[in-house]
């Protein structure tokens, strides 16, 4: 098994207020096993492949927008009547309003939108996989703990049967032992179902085929990452959500310029050359013409108004995205802080291994210091607390990955700082 070590260099954390952002402290990288697994996930996940294809399409649209707006037109004419006329003409519309530059600006902004969407998709898929992986890892620990419970209840059931035969306990107490064993087996089946669901979530994201053991998976660290106590987030404008919203606003602002320039008519210049024969006389023909569309029936004003309204909506969406990003950062930071504090408290409250506590309770029960019902109640409380602690730890790790994503630090945690990131 590989091991996962997650730690922050210095006092890593997040601010619960929106005022300003200090430079974020460096994060240690993920373990090579985790990093390699996520890179493989990025290479194979269909959603990321779709986002990459959209990004490549946007790159192609930039190249297309950089091409000239108009192509030349060539026409050949011939007439054999009273006169014999043979002419050729070439015409070209001139982009005097610089429509090409406006379209390039729009397509470049659209490319930035696609690039931000691609990066967001990679980040979100990585966060989903990490959360599902943490859930599956801790579900395995719950399964092991549940198996210990079944073993303990089976042993207690056998001991109760022996003590009933010698008259040390009553029949109702013997029935309590049998019921406790049945309950343990039922709860173990539920835990197996939860593990299967967790593994299915990992498979749905990463496509892994798992037999329930996953010997090649990286292991989850026993130590929880430190609780945040100061600012540990990217500047708001550098976070992926804001980069995408800003690029979308720029794209729609450029679309307004495109709509305005589309309203402007461009002239078309035609050159004609040829020869005309009439009887025995033959004369060359040279001509030039200029034409200009008249924006009378359709002025294009409505298109400009629509583009402007969409740009205004993008500006409002950008502000809403900024508010949501800050709110998500606060929420994930507070959630992680509370869950981690509770998980650490429960860890400290557990004295000794579960097997040792169960053995102590069994000795007390056999010595007559505990009756059967008290023994079962205390053993069940110990087991339930241990299982609940594992559930809480799974939620804590998931909150940690949510926080890294909200703070804009997840890519750095996977690959290190941007200057050192693996392409």
Tokens of 297: 């029936």
- Tell me which residues of the chain have a pLDDT lower than 50: 1-23, 211-212, 215, 231, 420-423
Short-list 208, 212, 169, CA closest to 194: 212
For the chain, how big is the Rg over CA atoms in Å?
A: 36
Return the pLDDT at 229.
Answer: 60
Can you name the residues that pair with 145 across neighbouring β-strands? Answer: none
Which CATH number is 158's domain given? 1.20.1600.10
Return the pLDDT at 19.
Answer: 36
Strand residues in 53-101 grouped as ranges (E): 73-80, 84-93
- What's the CA gap between 327 and 17, in Å, rounded? 9
Short-list 18, 38, 19, 1, CA closest to 412: 38
Return the pLDDT at 28.
Answer: 59
Task: Report the number of distinct structural domains present in the chain.
Answer: 1
Long-range Cβ pairs for the range 63-70 (8 Å, 24+): 64/107, 65/100, 65/103, 65/104, 65/106, 65/107, 66/100, 66/104, 67/100, 68/95, 68/100, 69/93, 69/95, 69/99, 69/100, 69/103, 69/266, 70/94, 70/95, 70/266
Range of the domain at 131: 2-420
Can you name the residues that pair with 415 across neighbouring β-strands? Answer: none
**φ, ψ dihedrals at 20, nearest 5°:** 70, 160
Q: Quick check: 401 and 130 in contact, CB under 8 A? A: yes
Q: Quick check: 27 and 12 in contact, CB under 8 A? A: yes
- Token match 């097997």: residue? 355
Q: How are strands ordered across the β-sheet holding 84-93?
A: 73-80, 84-93, 268-278, 281-291
Short-list 340, 116, 331, CA closest to 233: 331
Return the pLDDT at 420.
Answer: 45
Return the pLDDT at 354.
Answer: 63
- pTM of the full predicted structure? 0.78
Q: Quick check: 325 and 239 in contact, CB under 8 A? A: yes
Return the pLDDT at 20.
Answer: 38
Return the pLDDT at 250.
Answer: 94
Long-range Cβ pairs for the range 377-381 (8 Å, 24+): 379/152, 379/156, 380/180
Q: Quick check: 62 and 111 in contact, CB under 8 A? A: yes
- Token match 């000794």: residue? 352
- What's the CA gap between 188 and 177, in Å, rounded? 16
Tokens of 315: 């500006």
How far from the centroid of its chain's Cα atoms is residue 232's Cα?
Answer: 20
| Residue range 394-418, pLDDT digits in tens | 889 899 999 999 988 888 888 877 6
Return the pLDDT at 230.
Answer: 53
Return the pLDDT at 217.
Answer: 66
């Amino acid at each position: 098994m590989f091991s996962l070590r997650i730690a922050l260099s210095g006092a890593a954390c997040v601010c619960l207020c929106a005022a300003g952002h200090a430079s974020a402290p460096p994060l240690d990288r993920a373990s090579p096993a985790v990093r390699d697994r996520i890179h493989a996930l990025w290479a194979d996940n269909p959603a990321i492949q779709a986002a990459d294809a959209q990004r490549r399409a946007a790159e192609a649209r930039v190249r297309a927008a950089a091409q000239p707006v108009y192509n030349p037109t060539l026409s050949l004419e011939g007439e054999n009547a009273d006169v014999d006329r043979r002419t050729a003409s070439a015409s070209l519309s001139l982009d005097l309003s610089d429509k090409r530059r406006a379209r390039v600006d729009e397509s470049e902004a659209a490319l930035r939108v696609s690039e931000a969407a691609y990066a967001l998709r990679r980040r979100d898929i990585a966060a989903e996989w990490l959360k599902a992986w943490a859930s599956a890892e801790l579900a395995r620990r719950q399964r092991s703990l549940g198996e210990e419970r079944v073993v303990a209840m089976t042993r207690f059931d056998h001991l109760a049967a022996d003590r009933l035969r010698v008259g040390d306990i009553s029949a109702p107490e013997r029935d309590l032992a049998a019921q406790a064993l049945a309950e343990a087996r039922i709860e173990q089946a539920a835990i197996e179902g939860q593990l299967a669901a967790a593994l299915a979530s990992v498979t749905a994201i990463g496509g892994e085929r798992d037999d329930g053991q996953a010997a090649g998976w990286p292991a989850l660290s026993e130590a929880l990452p430190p609780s945040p106590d100061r600012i540990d987030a990217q500047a708001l404008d550098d976070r992926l959500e804001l980069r995408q919203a800003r690029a979308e606003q720029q794209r729609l602002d450029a679309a307004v310029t495109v709509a305005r320039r589309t309203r402007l008519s461009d002239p078309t210049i035609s050159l004609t050359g040829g020869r005309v024969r009439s009887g025995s006389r033959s004369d060359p023909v040279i001509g030039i013409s200029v034409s200009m569309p008249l924006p009378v029936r359709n002025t294009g004003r409505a298109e400009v108004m629509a583009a402007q309204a969409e740009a205004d909506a993008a500006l409002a969406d950008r502000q809403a995205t900024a508010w949501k990003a800050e709110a998500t950062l606060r929420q994930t930071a507070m959630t992680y802080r509370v869950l981690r504090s509770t998980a650490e408290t429960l860890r400290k409250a557990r004295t000794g291994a579960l097997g040792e506590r169960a053995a102590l309770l069994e000795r007390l029960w056999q010595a007559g210091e505990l009756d059967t019902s008290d023994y079962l109640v205390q053993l069940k409380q110990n087991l339930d607390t241990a299982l609940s602690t594992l559930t809480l730890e799974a939620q804590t790790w998931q909150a940690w990955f949510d926080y890294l994503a909200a703070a804009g630090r997840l890519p750095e945690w996977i690959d290190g700082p941007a200057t050192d990131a693996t392409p």
